[in-house]
Amino acid sequence: MQVVSYSIICLSLLYVGLSCGPPLQDQDREYVGFATLPNQVHRKSVKKGFEFTLMVVGESGLGKSTLVNSLFLTDLYKDRKVLNAEERLAQTVGITKNTVCIEEKGVKLKLNIVDTQGYGDTINNTDSYKCVSDYIDHQFEQYRRDEIGLNRKNIQDNRVHCCLYFISPFGHGLRPLDVECMRALQDKVNIIPVVAKSDGLTYDEVKKKKSRILSEIDKYRLKIYQFPDCDSDEDEEFRRQDMELKRSVPFAVIGSNMVVDVNGRRIRARLYPWGVVEVENPYHSDFVHLRNMLVRTHMQDLKDMTHDTHYESYRLLIESNNTLLPINMSNLH
Ligand SMILES: Nc1nc2c(ncn2[C@@H]2O[C@H](COP(=O)(O)OP(=O)(O)O)[C@@H](O)[C@H]2O)c(=O)[nH]1
Ligand SMILES: [Mg+2]
């Protein structure tokens, strides 16, 4: 009985101490150490490296390969063979995957670029995007099988995290093929629309083209990647940049494989008889916004969306049907 009452007193003292005493200051608290968790996660992910897969879709000749080279300052397509009209007619849509490993300040990024060749080149293009859509499904299927397999610790993530959809600067907004293709891909991948070769358009034309494309996206209820809202604790400058980024969609882009000397600066640019178009100049194009978004600010969100939304829908669909897709990688060269 004595023991019981003694422990009750102790407990009540402890309770009084906790509830009525002055609040514990941070420095008085015992240090458990979990505050280093972010550092641990950071170190682990840096050690493991990052993987990102970007797909470019759009008609041939819209500057997809050139833009990829400009974005990642590489020459991914040194050995490519440009086909003539006859060869292009004979060819079906082909998908190629190139991988580059980029390292910046000790952080390694394995970047996969999936390019679609011959898309929109044939006389009847109804099936052009089928092959692109199948490719995305196959990557999901591969990942799903790896996840339930024995080697799930070392899964290679080849799922397509982002699709840059190239829209021609010469047409009036979206073409029927663009609408069909975006519709076929919208629930499988994060689509980011870009207006290709925008150096051929005046400032007003770019503005009109963008607003027409956006209204068509709305009219046909196409789903493109939605930028997440800014966190409430972000500073003014970040909010301003975020707003500017959202306002730039669809990004009007320019690409170039050429590095030229302009007033002592070595820059990627396009040289014309009447002047120089600078790829990274925000007054000339939205290239910098696009690159910042892809690499600096939204890469992780694109990956999260892919995993949590697109892959999850695929997985649920397959598992509810309980069928396995035969993996056919014949389109992958
Ligand atoms: N005017 C202009 N031409 C470009 C641009 N980007 C690429 N080109 C040119 O367009 C042609 C096709 O480019 P390419 O990257 O092979 O197109 P892809 O077939 O979509 O991969 C090449 O002659 C490029 O030099 C651009 O932003 N503006
Ligand atoms: Mg190309």
pLDDT tens figures, 106-145 = 888 888 999 887 676 665 666 778 889 999 999 999 999 9
Burial of residue 292 (number of CB atoms within 10 Å: 0-12, 13-18, 19+): middle
Cβ of 61 less than 6 Å from ligand 1: yes
Task: State the distance from the centre of ligand 2 to the C-alpha of 200, rounded, in angstroms.
Answer: 19
Task: State the distance from the centre of ligand 1 to the C-alpha of 147, rounded, in angstroms.
Answer: 39
Instruction: Provide the pLDDT confidence category of residue 241 given band limits of 50, 70 and 90.
Output: confident
Q: Does any domain span residue 108?
A: yes
Cβ of 209 less than 6 Å from ligand 1: no
Q: Does any domain span residue 71?
A: yes
* Total domain count, the chain: 1
Q: Does any domain span residue 31?
A: no
Query: Which atom of ligand 1 is least distant from the CA of 68?
Result: 15
Q: Name which residue sits closest to atom 8 of ligand 1, judged by CA.
A: 63
Residue-level pLDDT at 154: 78
Cβ of 284 less than 6 Å from ligand 1: no
Q: Does any domain span residue 38?
A: no
Q: Does any domain span residue 30?
A: no
Task: State the distance from the centre of ligand 2 to the C-alpha of 289, rounded, in angstroms.
Answer: 22
Instruction: Provide the pLDDT confidence category of residue 321 given band limits of 50, 70 and 90.
Output: confident
Cβ of 199 less than 6 Å from ligand 1: yes
CB proximity list for 174: less than 8 A, separation 6 or greater: 167, 182, 213, 216, 217, 220
Q: Name which residue sits closest to atom 12 of ligand 1, judged by CA.
A: 61
Q: Among 62, 66, 71, 170, which residue has the most ligand 1 atoms within 8 Å of its CB, making it the best to mutate?
A: 66
- Specify whether the CB–CB gap between 107 and 46 falls below 8 A: yes
What residues are paired with 268 via a beta bridge?
259
Q: Does any domain span residue 43?
A: no
Q: Does any domain span residue 112?
A: yes
Task: State the distance from the centre of ligand 1 to the C-alpha of 139, rounded, in angstroms.
Answer: 28
Note the pTM of the prediction, 2 decimals.
0.82
Task: State the distance from the centre of ligand 1 to the C-alpha of 163, rounded, in angstroms.
Answer: 18
Cβ of 268 less than 6 Å from ligand 1: no
**How many CB atoms sit inside 10 A of residue 253's CB?**
29
Domain with 182 in it: 53-321
Confidence check: pLDDT of 11 > 50: no
Cβ of 200 less than 6 Å from ligand 1: yes
Q: How far is CA 273 from CA 67, 136, 269, 277, in A?
A: 22, 42, 13, 11
- Specify whether the CB–CB gap between 133 and 185 falls below 8 A: yes
Q: Does any domain span residue 47?
A: no
Longest dimension (CA), the chain: 101
Query: Which atom of ligand 1 is least distant from the CA of 196?
Result: 27
Residue-level pLDDT at 123: 58
Cβ of 70 less than 6 Å from ligand 1: no
Model confidence pLDDT, tens digit, residues 164-193: 999 999 988 999 989 999 999 999 999 999
Task: State the distance from the centre of ligand 1 to the C-alpha of 254, rounded, in angstroms.
Answer: 9
Cβ of 64 less than 6 Å from ligand 1: yes
Q: What CATH number is given to the structural domain containing 109?
A: 3.40.50.300
Residue-level pLDDT at 209: 96
Task: State the distance from the centre of ligand 1 to the C-alpha of 76, rounded, in angstroms.
Answer: 14
Instruction: Provide the pLDDT confidence category of residue 300 given band limits of 50, 70 and 90.
Output: very high
Tell me the average pLDDT of the chain: 82
